[in-house]
Chains A and B, each alone.
Chain A
């Protein structure tokens, strides 16, 4: 699990950002990336891998590894660590590879 240091907790309480994560309401701090918000909410993994279908979570937090892929507001394969969490955002688990949209 991850936790917030008091400064982060205080900022969250002063200006909570409400997100929906896999259907559940989650609050994060203004300025948190989606991946940071997931970690702080107690989620270590955010997707199932395309080849072996095993759980995987954010790894590098700097846009390099693409392990933090999630579906954001219906858009699959978004890098959770590179997207700032915004009020009302709907974040869903990325299940395997993205499907081709026609």
Chain B
């Protein structure tokens, strides 16, 4: 049986936000534990940065990737205790007398469950790709753009044969650019950004031109456009095949085409990884620009749950640089709440952090709008799979609404939609949008799945091996009455 350990601040996630927060909190003399699912720090953005085989050819992944190295190195050297390959599956308010004002964090390492008590929690669980529900997106041979990038960064593994990239957003072009740098031939890039969208966004253009993303983005897109067969304004998309991907059908204007392909890399933006935050009881809001759920937090990362902060992309998509600023802002406020800083000291430190945050988020309003996934790739119809785990289709979801199902939680009892191992991570936003579509109401009114702990699957064996209190044993063991 494992022992329960203690700390002042538990950080969940060692991406830019979690790392920056851990550095600041340890500087303030706090006792910090950082949980991370991966074997090494860096999050998805700096994935594999300490072990990538591509170290000697840094131009493949580009400067922005390697710029994360100093932060990762500093984090590795700081006093925080780092627990890697740790799956956090519960964060609950303590109810026993053991440590009344603490949170109890349940996590597993190597399929062995453990507990940790913390006074304060920082959720820095980052982002993941949004669903891209098209016909055939479950076929072997179809992977996410992010998956392709992870394979490149951490393993220097790339697709071969006929490769098609499809979707929209900066990451799609970044992957194409990184593939070009590594000598990978891309057969086609299908861009789903609708025609005329740039022009409709002129009010946001000035901020974007002044942003750090502008020149970088422009050069990258130009290079990809000059070297790859880029098809613009793709309005329909489907992957065909029986047991694996064989071809891709797409439409631009009135023209439909089918091309043979071995790999399809799908990407249409990222959204906050909210499962842990949501199960903790943090309020979520529908972001109608990015079209996803987003935790409600103030500039410090304070949430509606006392002593729980949230930072980085988990608190709303703003990118790696902003995540660092937000991680530090959260850390500064946590240090204040735990008595390590006065309010005045906190506010003094925050002046520069807020300034940095504003500078690195300038221009995001423009490309959040520019790259909003088109409605036909968010609100599927017919036999397109919505829930990959339970293999539920768009028409099944829509039919259920027609017979009276009003929300995602009721949908579960009708279809088991969202009840597979991914726990709704890859269908939640689609289900909300489909119900909103059928009922003709805003997404906010439809609501989201109610998530409960454990937020990652764990076996009964793991759970049973946890240390027990006397109360918890009494609660389940039937005692013999004294004779």
Which residues of A does B touch, CB under 8 Å? 1-5, 7-8, 10-11, 29, 31-33, 36, 39-40, 44-45, 49, 51-52, 54-67, 69, 75, 77, 82, 84
Contact = CB atoms under 8 A, between A and B. Distances in A.
B244 interface: yes
B140 A5 contact: no
Interface in B72-115: 85, 87, 111
Contact of A66 (B37, B85, B143, B421): B421
Given A7-B53, A7-B57, A59 B144 contact: yes
A91 to B, nearest CB: 16
A5 B182 contact: yes
B155 A62 contact: no
A13 B449 CA distance: 47
B142 to A, nearest CB: 7
A99 B143 CA distance: 27
Majority-rule SS of A interface residues: loop
Nearest to A84: B39
Most B-side CB within 10 Å, residue of A5, A39, A55: A5
B317 to A, nearest CB: 15
Interface residues of B, number: 48
B244 A45 contact: yes
A64 B143 contact: no
Nearest to B389: A66
A44 B422 contact: no
Interface string B138-163: 10111110110011001111111100
14 contacts: A1-B262, A3-B160, A4-B155, A8-B53, A10-B53, A32-B155, A49-B391, A54-B138, A57-B143, A60-B129, A60-B147, A62-B146, A64-B422, A84-B39
B44 interface: yes
Nearest to B243: A55
Contact of A1 (B56, B159, B389): B159
B157 A65 contact: no
Contact of A56 (B138, B157, B161): B138
Given A5-B158, A5-B182, A45 B57 contact: no
B390 interface: yes
A40 to B, nearest CB: 5
A40 B56 contact: no
Contacts of A2: 151, 157-160
A60 B150 CA distance: 9
Nearest to A82: B37
Most A-side CB within 10 Å, residue of B47, B138, B425: B138
Given A7-B53, A64-B425, A75-B111, A1 B160 contact: yes
